Structure 1
Amino acid sequence: MQNKRKPRYIDLFAGCGGLSLGLELAGFKRAFAVEKSVEAAATFSHNFIDSHASARQWSEDCREGGDKRAILSSQLKKGLVTMDVAEVADLLEDPAFRDEHADKFSDIDLVAGGPPCQGFSLAGRRHGADKRNTLVWQFFRIVKVLKPRLVLIENVEGMTRKFSARDTHSPIKRIIDEVAALGYDVQPVLLNARNYGVPQNRSRIFIIGRRTRDGSDGLAAHEMLSRENSHQIRAKSRLQVLPPEEKLEVSVRDAIADLRTDGSVRGRKPSEYVLGLNKSVKGIGVLTHRESGGALHNHEFRKHSRKTEARFRFIQLLEGHGISRDVLYWSGMGQEDNLRQEVAGHGAWRWRELAKVCCSDERFADYLPSSSESIFELFSPLVNAFSSKKHSQRVLRQKSVSFTVMTIPDDYIHYCEPRVLTVREQARLQSFPDAFEFIGRVTTGGARRKIMVPQYTQVGNAVPPLLAKAIGHHLVALLSEMRTNHFWEKQVIE
């Protein structure tokens, strides 16, 4: 390998491109990416390949005539494949097809990706029989054929937990064993994005595999890292653990304060964090030519009813006065005894201070009683009016990192404005630069959520680019070490 050649990667299950963006910022060059979702693929293409006018146009471009072989051949030339990964693996196992596209399949340094994780996730119901859990094995089929020098798998922390007490092992052990059996030394690491300059508390598992010198079974480190010492390793491994970067944590306010456009308060000047994001994209796909300082995309506000705004404001006030929003949950569940206990447990003085604010805010005028003899009687109408069975809705803390960015827009409330975050604000919390534009529907619900990937979902599912960049630098160092230690024999793909 010539020193000037950038290491080449393939991104499977690429989503909107968070992992790819980070890898390219670290110096990698994409051979091609695979993303089945038309909406997420449209965003990927819009930022890395060609600025399409709309997701509909991209969808039409994907419907090319011919059989699967012809479709894959055409899409490989563009550098983005929208077929199912299993179909791609089927064609890659054909030696004649690989020879036909040797420029895409030969001398691959890294195969990376985050197979869909819904079945592993701790955020929802976990099902061992979830079909999406099997997609990681399609990932391995491609690794087995292409024999990249490095493998990177990203997934949720839930992979380290057994599905049930009857299970012998957690999913991650099977995955680690498979990577080792394919001829790789393996190192699983638990990393939190907040330690890498991302304003978000987001823990994820990264499994790094380095091909052994002779292709024999590799060494698998099975023991996982503790949450508190995610940068240290207790199991022996031939790989150097990814070190944490010494950076001050970036707060929610640092990430989005300049985006406030409510008309009453001007936004602050962009923070060093924001300026750094927007300066980092020179040389990356379409982003090179797109002005991040121009029109701000994906910052459209969701329309809230007057009652919803009042409810968001009330939740903000509860947070500001140190009162748990569980009062709304117990009311929503119809548990009056628990509600009374919750009210009494926070101290009368907190409720009196809250009452002063609420009584002077016209948003609550329709919900407050004309008279009351107790704190409970005063707040019962408010609590009942804004009750909810939703436990996950929380107010962001402006001086701290964000909670894990989710795919549903109403999970979090802005720290000072009575609204949910915009797609752009969510993207800032994920460390996407402003020049990175998201394509397609902003959000969707009901049955469509199972088949569509709108903008909020694209952002929530992405690997934070700054975290991916840190991992990418580590992988570049591993490749350099392999070259120095004569690991760099030319790949022979059977």
Structure 2
Amino acid sequence: MLLANELSPMAGETFACNLLGEDLTHAAKSSQVSGQLKTKWLSSKFGRHELAKRLQENPQDYPPLGTQFGDLDEDGTDLKGALVVGNVRQLNAWLNEPSNRKALEEIRHGFGSGNIDLVSGGPPCQSFSMAGSRQYTHSRNDLPWEFAKFVQLTRPKFALLENVTGILRPFQVDGSEVFAWVEVAKAFARIGIEGGDDAGDARGGYVPLCLHVNAKFAGVAQNRTRFIMLSFRRDVFDILLGKMIGRDRELLLSSVEFFEKARAGKPIRRDDLPLYDAAKTRNLLDGTFLAGLSTPARPPTTMDAIDDLREHGLAQSEYVQGINTLLGPQALPPKTVTLGTEVANHVLRKHGLAVQARFRVYQVLSKFGKKSPIAAAVYKLLRGSAHELDEESWKQLSSSSYFIPAQGSFHQFKNKIFFEEFLTGLQTKKSSQQALLPDEPAPAAVSIPDDVCHYHMSLGGLRTLTVREMARIQSFPDNYVFRSKATTGGEKRKYEVPQYTQVGNAVPPILGHALGQIVQGLLKQYHQSLGQTEDSSFLHAA
């Protein structure tokens, strides 16, 4: 890693702990100051000796550049392998300042190791998400464009952008449909047109390849769909196109017409840019350089991911052993972070008896399916919109046992009226809660842990998931330690990024590894071809 950027100090603390080997909480209590750390603040209200306050700072209130405190040096020598905590808009502005030109050049040249191979990022996506505000003009929605600005500044061979599936849904703007993902791809294609003299190798723009993938097909125990845009710097694209044959070549060529139109400033339609939907068509990418996003084995299940955490002595699945073996060596928490014999971040959540009873109802409903008529009938009682069950639903539900708060134990109802009264007494306004299915991949993790409960029928299973269980589902190895507080609430949800949110917002590491392997394969082909391929335009090669 040459350089990283993270907006939230809470998420930054976890990154620093695992990938830089820095315990910022310990450093805040010791004589070590932030200037001696690889973790640097771009702009803060607090000085280097106030690290504890920095770790709790609201990232929405970072001061303007140069007005208070910052750790970055103009020559950039301290940025190699660093994490910059701060706003990417401000980071772009800082890199654009003439006084910081040397730092920008250091980054562009990989701190002496040559040109940058890859810039990857996942700009915040709340306003693109179907669960979010869906406001096209929301200020957060300009972050993919800021990512494009950073790519132009740093000139990597490849740029990788990840976002939620919601970015694929059209926005209604002034009576017309606007596809944000197409507009983002256009921005990458047009890199270097404005301010192009300083864009160097990036002056020719980036050719985008757009994908819709499901993490479960890359080997993650989660049904998590994502938009991925892999962009090729034009000169790199030229060389790779001269190397590739068959379906690989077809994949690259498919974006050429869009790229030409975008560079020429011509009108762009949605159909001008192909979207390869590997989330719906399982074998779409088989036999191509993208095959790692569609593994042939069955997707791992929720039980594969977390069953051994239910009690001591249960064996770990091949899935857990695999992520610990493959990804565990990449996590390097410092010695001040004691892992011990217990799995980190596995603190069981506590709930009231009525909540536990409701979770048991969800477990029973899971075997019928959340959208089944039986589940619909029960949810009406739980929401207070009905007071009776139909006879068929009662017949199907009466064979299961339920947790009775007054008794603190499980009980099977023999009387329909008593069962209806029991359900009515568990009324809730929550409409998205469900129990996990043990034999299927988990639903996509979210930043709030209240939407799913455990699948196991026992007193220990009537709860939501721990941070570690969610991390296992996301494919984090057990030695990856999540820092800061576990969860938050109220107004602080607008800016705090506690452990559950860190897990829910993350790209699953196994998916990230698959994407990294793809880029490594492309880089290998690129370097093999450098001395063999003429530096001709891909338009001619096409």
Question: Which TM-score applies when normalising by structure 1?
Answer: 0.80
Cα 1:286–1:211 shift into 2, 3 Å: same
> How far apart, in 2, do the equivalents of 1:345 and 1:35 lie?
55
For structure 2, list consecutive stretches of 5 or more residues without a partner in the other structure: 35-40, 49-64, 110-114, 192-204, 239-254, 260-271, 536-542
Query: Once the 2 structures are TM-superposed, how far is the Cα of residue 293 of structure 1 from its aligned partner?
Result: 7.7
The equivalent residue for 2:307 is 257
Equivalent residue for 1:90, pick from 84, 90, 93: 93
Deviations 1:352-389 (A, max 9, x none): 323xx34xx554659999x99x62x2222211121222
> How far apart, in 2, do the equivalents of 1:456 and 1:489 lie?
50
Query: Once the 2 structures are TM-superposed, how far is the Cα of residue 283 of structure 1 from its aligned partner?
Result: 4.8
Q: Are 2:172 and 1:172 equivalent residues in the alignment?
A: no
> How far apart, in 2, do the equivalents of 1:281 and 1:232 lie?
27
Deviations 1:242-271 (A, max 9, x none): 55222221111111111013xxxx552111
SS at match of 2:304: helix
> How far apart, in 2, do the equivalents of 1:441 and 1:489 lie?
55
Higher mean C-alpha deviation, range 161-170 or range 271-280: 161-170
The equivalent residue for 2:420 is 380
Equivalent residue for 1:477, pick from 516, 521, 526: 521
The equivalent residue for 1:11 is none
Q: Is the 8 A contact 1:367 1:381 kept in 2?
A: no
Cα 1:232–1:256 shift into 2, 3 Å: same
> How far apart, in 1, do the equivalents of 2:214 and 2:222 lie?
8
Q: Are 2:207 and 1:185 equivalent residues in the alignment?
A: yes
Higher mean C-alpha deviation, range 119-128 or range 320-329: 320-329
The equivalent residue for 1:392 is 432
Query: Once the 2 structures are TM-superposed, how far is the Cα of residue 127 of structure 1 from its aligned partner?
Result: 1.0
SS at match of 1:112: strand
Q: Are 2:439 and 1:439 equivalent residues in the alignment?
A: no
> How far apart, in 1, do the equivalents of 2:398 and 2:349 lie?
32
What is the letter of the counterpart of residue 425 of structure 1? E
SS at match of 2:480: coil
> How far apart, in 2, do the equivalents of 1:418 and 1:142 lie?
46
What is the letter of the counterpart of residue 91 of structure 2? V
> How far apart, in 1, do the equivalents of 2:344 and 2:164 lie?
29
The equivalent residue for 1:212 is 234
> How far apart, in 2, do the equivalents of 1:198 and 1:128 lie?
30
Deviations 1:51-90 (A, max 9, x none): 3152893998444459479523387256100111011101
Q: CA RMSD in A?
A: 3.4
> How far apart, in 1, do the equivalents of 2:349 and 2:86 lie?
33
Q: Is the 8 A contact 1:197 1:466 kept in 2?
A: yes
The equivalent residue for 1:420 is 464
Q: Is the 8 A contact 2:16 2:23 kept in 1?
A: yes
The equivalent residue for 2:161 is 153
Query: Once the 2 structures are TM-superposed, how far is the Cα of residue 135 of structure 1 from its aligned partner?
Result: 1.2
What is the letter of the counterpart of residue 281 of structure 2? N
> How many residue pairs are counted as aligned between the two chains?
441
Query: Once the 2 structures are TM-superposed, how far is the Cα of residue 422 of structure 1 from its aligned partner?
Result: 0.1
Query: Once the 2 structures are TM-superposed, how far is the Cα of residue 99 of structure 1 from its aligned partner?
Result: 1.7
Cα 1:286–1:418 shift into 2, 3 Å: same
Higher mean C-alpha deviation, range 466-475 or range 272-281: 272-281
Residue pairs, 1:309-320, within 5 angstroms: 309-320=356-367
What is the letter of the counterpart of residue 38 of structure 1? P
> How far apart, in 2, do the equivalents of 1:480 and 1:367 lie?
61
> How far apart, in 2, do the equivalents of 1:440 and 1:345 lie?
50
Higher mean C-alpha deviation, range 78-87 or range 91-100: 91-100
SS at match of 2:163: strand
Q: Are 2:90 and 1:50 equivalent residues in the alignment?
A: no
What is the letter of the counterpart of residue 357 of structure 2? A
The equivalent residue for 1:276 is 322
SS at match of 1:153: strand
What is the letter of the counterpart of residue 320 of structure 2? V
What is the letter of the counterpart of residue 391 of structure 1? S
Cα 1:293–1:190 shift into 2, 3 Å: farther
> How far apart, in 2, do the equivalents of 1:344 and 1:274 lie?
43
> How far apart, in 2, do the equivalents of 1:434 and 1:180 lie?
40
Cα 1:214–1:31 shift into 2, 3 Å: closer
Q: Is the 8 A contact 1:196 1:470 kept in 2?
A: yes
Q: Are 2:385 and 1:335 equivalent residues in the alignment?
A: yes
> How far apart, in 2, do the equivalents of 1:70 and 1:54 lie?
19
SS at match of 2:184: helix
Equivalent residue for 1:229, pick from 281, 305, 315: 281
The equivalent residue for 2:530 is 486
> How far apart, in 1, do the equivalents of 2:516 and 2:237 lie?
23
Cα 1:195–1:89 shift into 2, 3 Å: same
Cα 1:110–1:364 shift into 2, 3 Å: same
The equivalent residue for 2:298 is 248
What is the letter of the counterpart of residue 12 of structure 2? A
Q: Is the 8 A contact 1:281 1:288 kept in 2?
A: no
Q: Is the 8 A contact 1:35 1:80 kept in 2?
A: yes
Higher mean C-alpha deviation, range 272-281 or range 468-477: 272-281
Question: Which structure has the higher relative contact order (CA within 8 Å, separation 6+)?
Answer: 1
